[in-house]
A and B are shown apart, each in its own frame.
Chain A
Amino acid sequence: MQSFDYGHAADIGEALANGDAPNTVFLAGGTELLNWLRLGVAKPARVIDLARLKGFADITRLPGGGLRIGALARLNDVALNDDVARDYPVLSQAILKSASAQLRNLATIGGNPLQKTRCGYFRAEETLPCNKRKLGSGCSALKGINDKHAIFGWSEACVATQPSDPATALSALDALYVTEHKDGGRRIKAEDLHTLPGDTPHIDNALRDGELIVGIELGGAARHSAYLKLRERESYEFAIVSAAVALDLEGDRILRARIALGSVAHKPWRLNQAECALSGAAANDTAAIRRALDASLVGAKTLAHNAYKVRLAKNAAERAIRLAAARTW
């Protein structure tokens, strides 16, 4: 690990004032940053620890029915919060299926969506061709082992996926990431936080240097929502495919469906076409749901080893819709 200078930000102003200096990174939960440092994925000169910032881990109701979650809230504290568990089960479930109990006691809700891909070539301890690690070095996964890689939105430069479960749930909830920057903050729609690789695969998200996620805002309660994660073992593993679904129901009829797939692209992947097709459908009309999902997945582009993920994604979405509809309140 390369050496670095370390300091505690006493308050948000101090963090932002120093955050956009060259080779400077923020430290929140640390469960990603420490591995980046070990692998050489990040080689910062300065680390700004955010642990002493006050009031950034609170979960508060918003006027009008939404919820604001402080970015420094630990994952377990978010998932087990009564309001989150009751009103946004998709988020609570996604978090509890992430990582392990110990890691969730450290990792924060603001940091988790900024984790990088789990692509084995990217995370290799010995440096392999990877355009994320070194732009222009090539993509080892494109013609290599790519069974876990993207089926949507990839480019010749990068076929990696974004693995965050919470980010997938937040996408289905149309959450807003609230940011601060010394030149002013903004609200970033969940669908706009992560970027597609294109010819800039080294860029993961829309955040500027020194821009810090300070909170996440959720709209009205999404009690008919659910998260389904498919993986090779039952716990403590990244998804092959996941599905986050939030339904607005009137009786058995779907007024609005929001469906996001995880681990299929460089960002949580909304199935907009299926969402439109399901508006007005009966929640138990399996044929209509399958038709809508089929049409939405036609655009999938598979690699040598991952064609199975298309079927898996479709079935995961169908089951997640059933789970979301079945939640009774």
Chain B
Amino acid sequence: MEFRSHLTVALRVNGRSYEVPVDTRTTLLDLLREHLELTGTKKGCNFGECGACTVHLNGRRVNGCMILAASVEGAEVTTIEGLAEDGKLHPVQQAFIDHDAFQCGFCTPGQVMSAVALIREGHARSAAEIREWMSGNLCRCSSYPQILSAVEAAASQATGG
């Protein structure tokens, strides 16, 4: 088997194909921010503890800081920059605005990416379930009640009531 200290990763991000040369130590988070300049995904703790770097990897939410870029060869990644369509915000993004679900905004991209996935997973059946399945996204401004309201509203819109 072949071992390398540098390699080129081919992947799709928000529907666009990229080939990115990286040092093996590069994480998916650093690839997005430093190589593709997609700085919407935030680097909070860089230890998998805060959720600010949450993105979708092949449709599932993951912490971008806990994945080596080398591991995502051939993957499909969606970041906060890829949610809006034709200039129209994703319903979860709109719900965060409508419900005042952020203050400083640093955790918001991760919160939104997590919430979009949570609704798709079917884990928005009650307030308690939303809180539990959103617990991987910390908010140091403590906007949790507003975030919960936003997710509840977006979820009920997604399921038609």
Binds B, one of A27-35, A201-209, A269-277, A278-286: A27-35
Of the residues A3, A6, A49, A99, contact of B136 by C-beta under 8 Å: A99
- A37, chain B: closest CB distance, angstroms: 8
CB-contact partner of B5 in A5, A37, A235, under 8 A: A5
Q: Which of A54-62, A86-94, A100-108, A189-197 contacts B (4 or more CB under 8 A)?
A: A100-108
A6 touches B24 (CB 8 A): yes
- Please give me the 6 A-B residue pairs with the lowest Cβ-Cβ distance, nearest first: A100-B136, A235-B135, A5-B3, A236-B135, A6-B24, A7-B3
Q: A38-B47, A46-B3, A106-B62 are in contact. Are A3 and B70 (CB under 8 A)?
A: no
Q: Which of A17, A18, A235 has the most CB of B within 10 A?
A: A235
State the Cβ distance, A116 to closest chain B Cβ, in Å. Answer: 14
CA of A47 to CA of B69 in the docked complex: distance in angstroms? 13
User: Do residues B3 and A27 form an inter-chain contact, with CB atoms below 8 A?
Assistant: no
Can you name 30 A-B pairs with beta carbons within 8 Å? A3-B5, A3-B23, A3-B25, A4-B5, A4-B24, A5-B4, A5-B5, A6-B4, A6-B70, A7-B1, A7-B2, A7-B3, A17-B1, A18-B1, A30-B67, A30-B71, A31-B66, A34-B48, A34-B68, A37-B25, A38-B46, A49-B68, A49-B70, A100-B137, A101-B117, A101-B118, A101-B136, A102-B61, A102-B114, A234-B132
Once bound together, how far apart are the Cα atoms of A27 and B70, in whole Å? 11
Bound form: Cα–Cα A235–B47 in Å: 17
Q: Which residues of A contact B54 (CB under 8 A)?
A: 102
* Contact status A47-B1, CB under 8 Å: no
User: In chain A between 233 and 279, which residues have their CB closer than 8 angstroms to a CB of chain B?
Assistant: 234-236
- Bitwise, A13-29 to B at CB < 8 A (1) or not (0) is 01001100000000101
CA distance A1 to B26 in the complex (A): 10
A side interface size, CB within 8 A: 35
Q: Does A53 contact B (CB under 8 A)?
A: no
Number of residue pairs A-B, CB distance < 8 angstroms = 100
Which residue from chain B places its CB closest to the CB of A34 in the assembled complex? Answer: B66
B121 proximity list for chain A (CB < 8 A): 101
- The smallest C-beta distance from B116 to any residue of chain A, in angstroms, reads 12
Tell me, yes or no, whether A307 is within 8 Å of chain B by CB: no
Cβ–Cβ < 8 Å partners of A106 in chain B: 62-63, 66-67
For A5, the closest partner residue in chain B by CB is B3
Q: A131–B66 Cα gap in the complex (Å)? A: 26
Residue of B nearest to A15 (CB): B1
Chain A residues whose C-beta falls within 8 Å of the C-beta of B51 in the assembled complex: 100, 102
From known contacts A102-B63, A103-B136, A236-B136, infer whether A34 and B71 are also in contact, taking CB-CB under 8 Å: no
